[in-house]
Structure 1
Amino acid sequence: MKNSLFTLAIFGLATSVALAQNNVASTATTGNNNTAQVNQVGAENEGSIDQAGDRNNASIRQGRQGLFRPISNNGLATIEQAGDNNQASIKQQVLLAWSTAQNSHSISQTGNRNDASLEALTGGNSGSVEQLGNRNIASGIQGISANKLTIEQNGLRNEASVNQIFSFDGLAEIEQVGDANEGDVNQVGNSNFGKIEQFGSGNDSYFGQAGSNNEASVVTYGDGNRTVGAQAGEGNNQRTEITGNGNDFSVTQLGDDNFSYVNARGTGPGANGLQSFNSDLSILQEGNENEISGAMGGNNNSLTISQDGTGNLVLGGGAKWDAEGFTISGNNNVGSIMQVGTGNSATMSMIGNGNTATISQR
């Protein structure tokens, strides 16, 4: 009897989910104390919300969060908001970690006190957030594999975050144009790619990746700068490009066969117009067969590189984007490379002004 009841319960759940397929919901409001909400359970549902002005708010939920809760596969969720006190949210979820998701979610906000969130669990999800102006903030979170999330922010108090947990072959991109900026990308898993691109103002950055064969890229065009990057695992690559102003970057890589490239002479690999300004740079690699290559332009410079392990290189003689080891061009320079282990090699060059250079191998 218990088995029969259990079977009936499962059948009931399957039936209720089956009945909730291919739904389409849409709501549009134009002015004043807006608010809207869409709840859908099942596969291939579409939810949309469109709001124009005043107190805005919005939410879409497809599926319910938590294990063995009603699912949402192949769902489409879209929110658009135009002005005033915006906010928005979207949640999508599938039944189990190994089931198919393929949900799509996007939020577009235009002005005033923006916010935005987004959340999806399990793989194949695709999402985007676009915010144009005022007190931006945005977030993310996608889980398991092959997820994609892009966040774009234009103007004023930007912030952003992306967090792809247990992610494989994931893609996370943040683009910020002007004002207070920040950044963030966190990816846990293998073969992920994370990118932060900032065009002017407060900057900041950050990225964190744990796993193997991940790639991270931070490109900052001017103003406050600061980059903090960390990768743990094997075969990871990290690239930092900074044009000028406040600078202060640090990179940590833990594991074997990792590569770190820093260019603070302009943008793009190789020689560029020299820029950097207040400088400062720290790179730490712990593990074997790791490589570092890079260069900094002028002004207050400083450089600390630490490698602990065997067969590590601060590359000289070309390759890996040809920064020829590590080069510091002009002004107050200093430079320190410490390698602990065997079979290591380091090349450092300085061009002009205060100079000091130390390479220690033990």
Structure 2
Amino acid sequence: MKKLLFLIVAVVFAASSAFAQVNYSTVDQLGLDNTANVIQVGWYNNSDVDQMGMWNDAAVDQDGYFNMSDINQWMMGNSAMVTQFGVLNVSYVDQMGLFNAAYVDQMGLHNISRILQMGMMNFADVSQYGWFNMSYITQYDFLNSAAVMQMGLANLSVITQANHNNVAMVDQFGMFNQSDIVQFGAISNATVWQMGESNYSNILQMLPIFSSATVLQDGYRNNSDIYQRRGAYNSAYVTQHGMYNMARINQIRGELNSATIVQHYMNNRARERQVDGYANLALIHQNGFLNRASTYQRGGEYNNAYIYQDGDFNWARAVQMAGDNNMSTTHQFGVRNRAFVEQINESDGVVDVTQEGYRNFADVTQRGGDGDMATIDQFGTDQMAYISQIDGANNVATVTQQGHFNLGIVDQIGGDGNEATISQAKVGNFAFVGQFGGGDSDAFITQDGWLNRGWVFQFDQTGSLAEITQDGDYNVGVIGQMGGVNNIARILQTGENNTALTYQWGDNNDSFVEQIGNDHFGQVIQDGNDNFAKTQQGNVGTSFSTGP
């Protein structure tokens, strides 16, 4: 009787202990040579393995509490391995096809992984360490590969792959980071690396081939969006360090195009768009706060656009459409500078803008020409420069400003091989050069002082020269050359409140006006051919050379 009582007590104790742990495992196999291995240590772990087909392999290792694993394998040669350590981790693996492989490693609290593979020889690897991380991988077709690493709190990764030979890699460290990757192309790569809190990345690859997209985010609430549609060998790269930065890259069709955005610090915005085209390159680098930058390149070949911003509240935009070998470079250093560049149907056009200081403004337009070059350099505050080159060829325009509140304008309409240069220093100077038609003519305005005014107009001039030099304050110089060849007009002003006017019609005219001192007025009008005029004005005590 004592032995029977002891036996009953032992059985009840064993039964109660088994019921307290309540691990649950089911394995259903239908087919040939399927393999399933399940290990459960802890309480209330749940595993379900369903295999239908042949040569499928499943392994589950659970250590902890309330972990759940569900594996479904259909057809042939699929492999799934799930390892769970912790509490309330959840894993779903569904494989339908041939020789797909899935690996899940979870450690922590209530991490969730869902893998769906429908096709052949797809590969998925998920590693989750932390709390409440979520990973969703869906793979169709064949030879796609996806890998996810999550370490932290409540990170989310979603990967969807179709077609073949796509590769997606996501690394998330921190909390509340989110990554979405969709790959519907072939032989393309997508890589996301996130560290910090609440960063967001979206990569959409629609039917490209041999394309790549890379996102690196370090900080708080950075946002990146990359869209690649069709095309081949295109690449997009985004790096964000800081807070509230936003980057967007669109690449549509085209081949061998490259787009890069690099952002440091806070609230910077950058956008790049490339449509069609071949081997175009766009680069935006922002370092500071609240900078805005945008590039747009459509068609053409070898177009390059670079924007570098170092400072705060700077704005830059570059647009290049349907040209060949165009190049645009914008450098901004300081605060509240603005730069706009457009090249439309321009071939071999080059634009270079450099701004250093506060609230400078530069605007360049080149349309329908060939080989035009424009350069703007601004150093100081509140300066403005405009260059327009329209429907010409091989024209060159340069504006250089040092100081404050200077304004320089160059208009080159038509023409071939004309050159215009404006150089301004100190405060409040104004210079305008207009070259309309003609060819191989030069115009120069140099101002050093306060509130000088200079105008040059060249209409249908060939091989002509117009030059104004102002050193002083409140001087006015005007040169007009209309319908001629090989004309020369020069104005040299040193002092204050001088006014010089020169107008030429005809060919081979030559005019020189020199003013030294204050309050002089000089005017030269030449209408005809082969005329020569020399005017020199000075205050008491001034001496001039008597040569021609």
Shorter-chain-normalised TM-score: which range? 0.3 to 0.5
Provide the TM-score with structure 1 as the length reference. 0.46
Larger radius of gyration: 2
User: Which structure has more strand as a fraction of its residues?
Assistant: 2
Structure showing greater relative contact order (alpha-carbon pairs closer than 8 Å, 6 or more residues apart): 1
Q: TM-score, normalised by structure 2?
A: 0.33
